[in-house]
Structure 1
Amino acid sequence: MLGFSIAPSMVWLVMLAIPLGLGAGAVDAALNHYVAENYKAHHMNWLHCFWGVGATMGPIIMSYYVADQHSWRSGYTTVAIIQFALVLILLVTLPMWKRVSALRVPEQPPQLEEENDTADKLQHQPAAKSGILRIKGVKPTLIAFLFYCGVESTVGLWGASYLVGAKNIAAGTAAMWVSFYYGGITVGRMITGFITMKISNRLLIRFGQLIAIVGGIVLLLPLPASLSLVGFVLVGLGLAPIYPGLLHETPARFGKAHSAKLMGYQMAVAYTGTTLLPPLFGFAAAQISVQLFPYVVLVCLLFMWLSTEKVNRQLMTPA
């Protein structure tokens, strides 16, 4: 990001995007793996809730510099300074992270005892011999991550275009409605962080998927444009517990021995969904119509739901 702030041409921006992506992917995989193994489900939900806070702050910082100082470079400089400060904080607190890793016992809810027995068996299964992708439940889990991130980013990137093009809503109002969608994700994760203290991750994931599917149906039905806001908010609230819940379940479902590698696989597939599905929808919308939006959203949500249910069936654990 510091390089972005001083890049002399577009070519440098493209080149600097590579280490930026590598760094983001490494942080994402490592941090989620650490929290999944050492903290509880509500910590994971709150971690991703504050991702939403950070994702909101970034555009605010950039818009301030662009509007008041007419300089996007200063925005990247500011965020780079924040990142350098985070690095210093992490280095100073590194001994604390190691102590927590040594002392904390991963969450083992009573509802998932049989699931943990399955994970214990998988933990002793040599990944090099059988292949990490051959572990029962891994492939449908990866498909669920693909469609989760695909639908999350598609709604965020194309939702306003759908509202403007298909519902004839003003661009400013459409952008505000999409912000409510992201607000639903952020607030939903804060709330579900408390709910996970009483309800298992798997039930929350299932309820979240059903709420998101209801939101997708609301978007699909020929209802007044004002009700599209309800659909966006429901999709956001429904998506809220799914991503952190699936990540937190990784050690419990597949064993600690495989969780670090699987976390990397999950991040890679998740970013693949974020990278490919929105432009694929954009191509389809350009060739056919932006009114495909609610159909694509609902299909992605259904594929995600079917994939997670397949994992539950393959692990043969009680809900």
Structure 2
Amino acid sequence: MPASDRPQAPDSARALTLAACMAFVPVGIVTVLLGPMLPTLSARWSLNYSQAGALFTAQYVASTLAVAVSGALASRWGFRLPIKSGLVLTAAGVALLLAGPRLLGIISIAAYGAGLGLTVPAANLLVAEVNPERRSATLNLLNFCWSAGAVACPFLVAAAAKSHRVPLLLGAVAVFSLLVAIGIAVMPSWIKEPAAPKNQSGETKPAMNWRHGAVPALAALFFIYVGTENAIGGWVASYSKALGSMTAATAVITPAFFYSSLMLGRWLAPLLLRKIADVRLVQIGLVVACAGMAGLVLSHDLLGVGVSACLAGLGLSGVYPITISMLSHEFGSEASRVGSVMFTLSNLGGASLPWVVGVASNRFGTLKAGLAVPLIGGAAMILLFLREWKPASPERPA
């Protein structure tokens, strides 16, 4: 039996899964922080759509570089080192975001982006490795925790902005991240991670088979999905404000519609996966997501934005965790090596598509044109999920 398919000691598996879930709450807050903060930062730094879109690029280019480092650290020292290191770097970046001029702000965005790049792939792969019999379900739980942070973020920013305490909020998020990092660092020694795959003869590992049929499809999915999710979540507040039919305070919280439906979908997914095959669930979800994204482009008021964002989030909710599960299922013990490349591509998608939204919006003079970009991404993912995927083992109840 491959190493990644051996059940982990139950106590260690539960403790490691809990640690990853705790880490993903501040990670969720910080990942989407730029979206609700974007109207404020754009006004503070006098940014047009293209320049505002470049802030996402700064976050995700730094994250992309960190993903490669995360894979190397995880292979050599285990998954917990990149998780706790990433949380410390994230805390530093968030704490300094509004501490100085625009240049320092951009450096801070890049810093917390790098922290996320260290933490996210390591946590996802850790949970997949220690729960081989329930990968899709536990990964949906992990990403549910991410969604909880993401949903809270717009409300926290709106409340802090109303009371002029945004720096205090950023400081609190930084402290939260540090506390989780410390908690992971002091975990007792009996908690064991799955061993990184090693060649028993001491020889160099054979090269990965990059001609594996799933590689191009998974690469495209990781790139497009993260870019699509970030494009919607990152721009919906600015889009709502630009419509002119709602107050600035209301516009800031509109990303919560999207992220709350992501969270709801990830809560429901483990139940649905007992009845529906994972690929079929994603196919249905992507059709719903595309309907929501089309509705968003056609919206003119809060009701239209809210309903459309909820449909988009609900439809997209299962795509990412199930794609990670498919990566682990297709490649087994080599998933961490392949995952390093896939998570790098996901961050490139996160850097590219929100920036393309800004460029298209600048070009055509409206964010409606820019929001057609994630709609195209959703349609592309539907086509990718029509391929024949390796069937996954049935999910077992907890």
Aligned counterparts, 1:221-300, within 5 A: 226-256=303-333, 258-288=334-364, 289-293=366-370, 295-300=372-377
Whole-Å separation in 1 of the counterparts to 2:94 and 2:245: 35
User: 1:161 Cα shift?
Assistant: 4.1
Partner of 2:112: 20
Question: Normalization by structure 1: what TM-score?
Answer: 0.77
Partner of 1:77: 171
User: 1:214 Cα shift?
Assistant: 2.7
User: 1:180 Cα shift?
Assistant: 1.2
User: 1:302 Cα shift?
Assistant: 0.9
Whole-Å separation in 1 of the counterparts to 2:130 and 2:167: 38
Partner of 2:151: 56
Partner of 1:189: 266
Runs of 4+ in 1 over 6 A off after TM superposition: 221-225, 316-319
Q: Is the contact between residue 246 and residue 302 of structure 2 (CA under 8 Å) also seen in structure 1?
A: no
Moved more, 42-51 or 152-161: 152-161
Partner of 2:230: 153
Alignment RMSD: 3.3
Partner of 1:109: none
How many pairs were matched up? Answer: 289
Partner of 2:140: 45
Partner of 2:293: 216
Q: Is the contact between residue 201 and residue 249 of structure 1 (CA under 8 Å) also seen in structure 2?
A: no
AA in 2 matched with 1:231: S
Partner of 2:58: none
Q: Is the contact between residue 150 and residue 277 of structure 1 (CA under 8 Å) also seen in structure 2?
A: yes
Deviations 1:255-292 (A, max 9, x none): 22x20022222221111111111111111111113332
Partner of 1:108: none
Aligned counterparts, 1:102-121, within 5 A: none
Q: Is the contact between residue 217 and residue 384 of structure 2 (CA under 8 Å) also seen in structure 1?
A: yes
Could you say if the C-alpha distance between residues 12 and 168 of structure 1 is closer, same or farther in structure 2, counting changes exceeding 3 Å? closer
Moved more, 41-50 or 74-83: 74-83
Whole-Å separation in 1 of the counterparts to 2:296 and 2:166: 35
AA in 1 matched with 2:151: T
Could you say if the C-alpha distance between residues 170 and 302 of structure 1 is closer, same or farther in structure 2, counting changes exceeding 3 Å? same
Q: Which runs of 5+ in 2 are unaligned?
A: 1-90, 196-203
Q: Percent identity?
A: 23
Whole-Å separation in 2 of the counterparts to 1:177 and 1:9: 27
Whole-Å separation in 1 of the counterparts to 2:313 and 2:129: 26
AA in 2 matched with 1:304: M
Whole-Å separation in 2 of the counterparts to 1:62 and 1:224: 21
Q: Which runs of 5+ in 1 are unaligned?
A: 103-125
Moved more, 10-19 or 188-197: 10-19
More helix, by proportion: 1
